[in-house]
Amino acid sequence: FFFGLFSGSMTVDCALVSCTAPLKKAWDNALWEVVLNQVVNQLPTKRTHGKHRSHCAKEILPAFVTNLLTLCPLSPGDVFWDCGSGIGNAVLQVAVQSKCSAWGVELQEANHEIACQTWDALRERMDFDMWEPGDYGEAHFHQGDMTQIHERFIESLGCDPNKILIFMNNYLFPNALDLQMTELFANLPVGAHIACMKPLFPIGRSSRCNSGFASAFRLSTYPYPATWVEWGFPGTLYIYTRADPCAPLLPAPALRGVQSPPAKR
């Protein structure tokens, strides 16, 4: 898509996206943001803004992704899914920093095109800086309705079932869609994680609306600051983990950079 993928005559000088400092094979959040912004600014397809902003949901920022990966670590051979992946920032960061297989599903065609273009441009950039294929993972993007694609996504994972992380920025999802996703996720294997921005069950309604999911998954909550998300106000990350009914219940890990509130007496 980028660097001549749209047209055989289209070429882009790799120097346009070069950093002033040498690129390391381990990008911290600051360097990741610099490289990503430089790459995105050179794309032929531009991110939707202004009156069409509703067609391009705002993104979680690199610090959020880094802390999510602290809570739910991934490594080569593992799988990450972003349901409603937007322009693909989270998918790309996970693929590069965790070296795993990262997948994104997005309904809006323009956002999907930007994600694909950005991944092609990043690979060009990493090749230019002499990264080896094993230095980063793979990113895959699908355009379509996540509920249709996910009817068969579990079968496509083909990895260690304890190494699955699904993320949904479901902050604006209707409650009916959240409930539909719990039905699709109900058969995830033990150890799988589902991270989302609001509870999968509507406030004021009992988890009995999907008792199978509620009984199979353990919920942990983590506050996050406004600086970790593009929309600029704090919130709570909800992580559902498919529990092993035979294993003892362990305390949830701490979220880096956020002090847990004192226990209620």
Greater confidence (68 vs 28) lies with 68
Which residue matches tokens 């989270």?
90
Q: What is residue 50's three-state secondary structure? A: helix
Cα distance between residue 239 and residue 62, in whole Å: 18
CATH no. for 14-242: 3.40.50.150
CB 238 within 8 A of CB 198: yes
Report how far residue 47's alpha carbon sits from residue 114's, in angstroms, rounded to the nearest whole number.
7
The pLDDT, as a whole number, for residue 45 is 73
Residues 91/79, Cβ–Cβ less than 8 Å: no
- Statement: residue 208 has pLDDT above 70: no
Region of 84 (left: φ > 0; alpha: ψ -120 to 50; beta: rest) is left
SS3 of 197, please? coil
This prediction has a pTM of: 0.77
- Per-domain residue ranges of the chain: 14-242
130-154 tens-digit pLDDT: 788 778 889 999 998 887 765 556 6
Cα 4–chain centre separation: 27
Q: Is the pLDDT of residue 29 over 50?
A: yes
74 pLDDT tier (thresholds 50, 70, 90): very high
221: pLDDT confidence band, cut at 50, 70 and 90?
very high
What's the confidence (pLDDT) of residue 25? 46
Give the distance from CA 168 to its chain's centroid.
7
202 class by beta-carbon count within 10 Å (0-12 exposed, 13-18 middle, 19+ buried): middle
Whole-angstrom distance, CA of residue 63 vs CA of residue 227 = 8
The per-residue pLDDT for 152 is 58
Average pLDDT, the chain: 75
